[in-house]
Structure 1
Amino acid sequence: MEPIHIIGAGLAGSEAAWQAARLGVPVILHEMRPAKGTFAHKTGDCAEMVCSNSFRSDDDVMNAVGQLHWEMRAAGGLIMAMADRHKLPAGGALAVDREAFSAAVTQALQAEPLIRIVPGEITDLPQDGNWIVATGPLTSNALAQAIRSVTGTEALAFFDAIAPIVHADTIDMTVAWEQSRYDKGETEAERRAYINCPMTRDQYEAFIDALLAADKTEFHEGETAGYFDGCLPIEVMAERGRDTLRHGPMKPVGLTNAHKPHEKAYAVVQLRRDNALGTLYNIVGFQTKMKYGAQTQVFRMIPGLENASFARLGGIHRNSFLNSPTLLDDRMRLRQRPNLRFAGQVTGVEGYVESAAMGLLAGRMAAAQALGRDLPPPAPTTAMGALVNHITGGAEAKTFQPMNVNFGLFPPLDEMRSGRKGRKDRYPAYTQRAKEDFAAWLAAQ
């Protein structure tokens, strides 16, 4: 049997390779790292997480991304299996020890007899064969040019930002305290999964002033792409209004200062554990385009972080993605060259889980083709189906932008199913319908 070739061993490519191999189809997984790196990646491991260490909410009843977790687990997804194995306390979120996670994904792929990982950069798109392009938002310049030459159009782009990571032993715990918002979590460790740094009104106002005045990274001429709203730099949020951060990542609600329980903070900065040892914490929602020197000065204004040591400072990079509604069919194939499928963030989905989910679908669809079958996507009533429907035709091509999974992508519920229109009734009805329809899709294969 001719192998499936997959370009890129990120979250999407790794999941695609795993799914195809589990269906009995050989895979050649091409990865340019570590021989050729990117500014964001630090290792040559597969499925390296370069921004947050969180897969977001794991609630598969009231949350669309939690439903996507459920579907990936139901389909035997490698990414979710390794995330569950290397889970860290994070309240209601699924956060992982990112280094252990990517190492485990790499080991699983290397141990699979039907998967061969081949190092080296792919700089062109083959005319024939069964290929999946899962190179992500940091596609190399050479391959990006090859994609443009095939599609006849410029890939769209937006800027994405990375949050800084702090060494835990440099956080002043006489000021900060451990607590998940609203004490979420089933165990004591989960209820104490975040470190919180409180601010008074004066401290917050001074922080905003410094943030707005700090030196920022300037874009090169011609770089006019916007930001993805789910990953805005904190400076951009602050420019939208002085209270924007206080009602966003710095909201003080659901938290009680363990040192001063009767004193309500005006704003709170949260840090989330980044590794199993608990030695590293990332600053939640603090993606930034400040220059490195400015970051250390401004972030050390946060109470409890006055002497913070940073394992990694924040940064900003250009993310490329296809105008998928005009270029891809519902089997995720390039219309001009149906031997090429695309998967992951390059298709215009946003988020680790969404990227991996598109890899899961692409891997199964490519494997079905190799086995002489055709595999349609799941129903649009499922989380995966809603995403692939959105990127391959449901979205307006002229205004297409990266999208996280959300219930707004799901077809509306009928009156009998939805009952009352409140979220407490509507969201469980969405997820129950999705589970039934996704299970039926799996059973039909």
Structure 2
Amino acid sequence: MEQQPIQVIGGGLAGTEAAWQIAQAGVPVVLHEMRPSRTAPAHHTEELAELVCSNSFGAASSDRAAGLLHTELRSLGSIIIRKADQHAVPAGGALAVDRGVFSHELTETLASHPLIELRRQEVEQIPTDSIVVLTTGPLTTPALSEDLQRFTGLEYFSFFDAASPIVVGESINRDIAFMASRYDKGEAAYLNCPMNQEQYLQFRQELCAAEKAELKDFEQETAKFFEGCLPIEEMARRGEDTMRYGPLKPVGLFDARQGDFREPENKHKRPYAVTQLRQEDKAGQLWNMVGFQTNLRWSEQKRVFRLIPGLEEAEFVRMGVMHRNTFLNAPQLLHPTLQFKQRPMLLAAGQLVGTEGYTAATAGGWLAGTNAARLVLGLPPITLPVTTMIGSLFEFISSASPKHFQPMPPNFGILPELPTRIKNKRERYGVYRDRALADLDNWYSRLLVSAA
């Protein structure tokens, strides 16, 4: 009996990887790409896997988060990473490619595969008569967006991604930062970094003077809708006390080590302003800077935000961003297998599920494509060990707080903590890498044996 092909919608990095993994498993696949019949403002060619921003896949060294993800994907037979390695160009410590040759060869490779049919057409509705992998990326078309919204019944899209930086918890100075919730309501759930007046005014001055990143042309119109989600630097420019009446308000926060600020003898200890960090993951390894959505350049963010007491040595796993984006509320909608909870025969990958970066999109495509093929073949879907970068990334996006979910890049902060704390960052990352690769090798060996 002839197998019904799997439908992959979107020919970016995730869709290209998904289609390849499906075909390599011996299952026919139709890869839908709307270009050239319809174009997106970020694209300039008709090729699959077009790199629309940088030509870099991030740090190449395996003791860096992106590099570890490269290494894991090489072990798993990723077509994207294989072609990236073949068409690499000098880029210091990064894996960067000749983007034109890279995308063209991927297009030719997939188009010539006997089990891959490339259809150049827009898909306006999610097919319901076959297994489907959605990889439509951050610029999903309005028609498909509306259909996806009808299917989920949720207001789940963010059309302008205004996200705050995320900091590694163990890099926060706990001698300065204190745990408390405002007015002692509920369990203490925030880390609070207090500022005196001098520290606050210096911080505001540097924030106002810091260099901003430029929005792309097609993002300019979208930006105006976010008056209610202003960049922290814009708040600073609007007045000396604007931040103190907004996200940095010091009221209702009490450091038990200093005594109750409400008592007359302790009033002089009351902070002039407070930066709050909210727990981002279940283990408390990552902390989100509340209200610090920003359009500053990343180097400026690091410089200025490290002026905040307690964050002088902060390690940032994600910088603040304000750019056009479209992503699902993955914790509410998806299993870590990247299957929709409401419809297990529908999967998603890439930036649409709330991961950031080329390599993360590739990893999502690998997992969604592999699981789609396994569903056709009557095999159970898989997840990877959470000690691997791939496994931890998709565990995170499927289990984070739905209320505060923001897209996440690969980073060591989402991996389970090591049994023994290692203070030296480079050494710590090396141990994370060694554990990840050993666990991946053991897991993959068992998977191959079970499939034999």
Q: TM-score, normalised by structure 2?
A: 0.66
User: Distance in 2 between the 1:221 and 1:342 partners?
Assistant: 28
Match of 2:21 among 3, 19, 25: 19
Q: Which residue of 1 aligns with 2:418?
A: 413
Secondary structure in 1 matching 2:67: helix
Contact 1:132/1:340 (8 A) holds in 2: yes
User: Distance in 2 between the 1:55 and 1:102 partners?
Assistant: 14
Contact 1:237/1:245 (8 A) holds in 2: no
Contact 2:212/2:295 (8 A) holds in 1: no
Secondary structure in 2 matching 1:320: coil
1:87-126 alignment runs, 5 A limit: 87-126=88-127
User: Distance in 2 between the 1:21 and 1:37 partners?
Assistant: 26
Q: Which residue of 1 aligns with 2:405?
A: 400
Instruction: Structure 2 unaligned segments of length 5 or more: list them.
Output: 163-207, 232-287, 308-319
Q: Which residue of 2 aligns with 1:299?
A: none
Q: CA RMSD, aligned part only? A: 3.3
Instruction: Structure 1 unaligned segments of length 5 or more: list them.
Output: 162-207, 248-286, 289-315
Match of 1:333 among 333, 339, 358: 339
AA of the residue aligned to 2:32 = H
Q: In the alignment, does 2:397 pair up with 1:384?
A: no
State the Cα distance separating 1:156 from its structure 2 match.
Answer: 3.3
Q: Which residue of 1 aligns with 2:328?
A: 322
Distance 1:223 1:107, change over 3 A: farther
State the Cα distance separating 1:356 from its structure 2 match.
Answer: 0.9
AA of the residue aligned to 1:358 = G
State the Cα distance separating 1:209 from its structure 2 match.
Answer: 7.2
Secondary structure in 2 matching 1:333: coil
State the Cα distance separating 1:424 from its structure 2 match.
Answer: 3.3
State the Cα distance separating 1:120 from its structure 2 match.
Answer: 0.6
Percent identity of the aligned residues? 42
Distance 1:413 1:88, change over 3 A: same
1:166-205 alignment runs, 5 A limit: none
Q: Which residue of 1 aligns with 2:185?
A: none
State the Cα distance separating 1:34 from its structure 2 match.
Answer: 1.2
Q: Which residue of 1 aligns with 2:136?
A: 135
State the Cα distance separating 1:231 from its structure 2 match.
Answer: 11
Contact 2:345/2:372 (8 A) holds in 1: no
The one-character-per-residue Cα deviations of 1:197-242 (angstroms, maximum 9, x if unpaired) are: xxxxxxxxxxx9796799993534468668899996447986x79x
Q: Which residue of 1 aligns with 2:440?
A: 438
Q: Which residue of 1 aligns with 2:169?
A: none
Distance 1:422 1:99, change over 3 A: same
State the Cα distance separating 1:66 from its structure 2 match.
Answer: 0.7
Distance 1:352 1:123, change over 3 A: same
Q: Which residue of 2 aligns with 1:54?
A: 56
Secondary structure in 1 matching 2:143: helix
State the Cα distance separating 1:245 from its structure 2 match.
Answer: 11
The one-character-per-residue Cα deviations of 1:315-359 (angstroms, maximum 9, x if unpaired) are: x85211001001001221111122210111100001111011100
Q: Which of the pair has more CA radius of gyration?
A: 2
Secondary structure in 1 matching 2:416: coil
The one-character-per-residue Cα deviations of 1:240-297 (angstroms, maximum 9, x if unpaired) are: 79x64999xxxxxxxxxxxxxxxxxxxxxxxxxxxxxxxxxxxxxxx99xxxxxxxxx
Q: Which residue of 2 aligns with 1:428?
A: 430
AA of the residue aligned to 2:427 = D
User: Distance in 1 between the 2:109 and 2:26 partners?
Assistant: 16
Q: Which residue of 1 aligns with 2:83?
A: 82
User: Distance in 2 between the 1:339 and 1:50 partners?
Assistant: 30
Q: Runs of 4+ in structure 1 displaced over 6 angstroms?
A: 208-216, 225-232, 235-238
Q: Which residue of 2 aligns with 1:149?
A: 150
Q: In the alignment, does 2:375 pair up with 1:359?
A: no
Secondary structure in 2 matching 1:13: helix
**Aligned residues between the structures:** 327
User: Distance in 2 between the 1:214 and 1:405 partners?
Assistant: 24
Secondary structure in 1 matching 2:32: strand
User: Distance in 2 between the 1:414 and 1:246 partners?
Assistant: 29
Q: Return 96-105 or 380-389, whichever deviates more.
A: 96-105
User: Distance in 2 between the 1:226 and 1:81 partners?
Assistant: 41
User: Distance in 1 between the 2:18 and 2:110 partners?
Assistant: 11
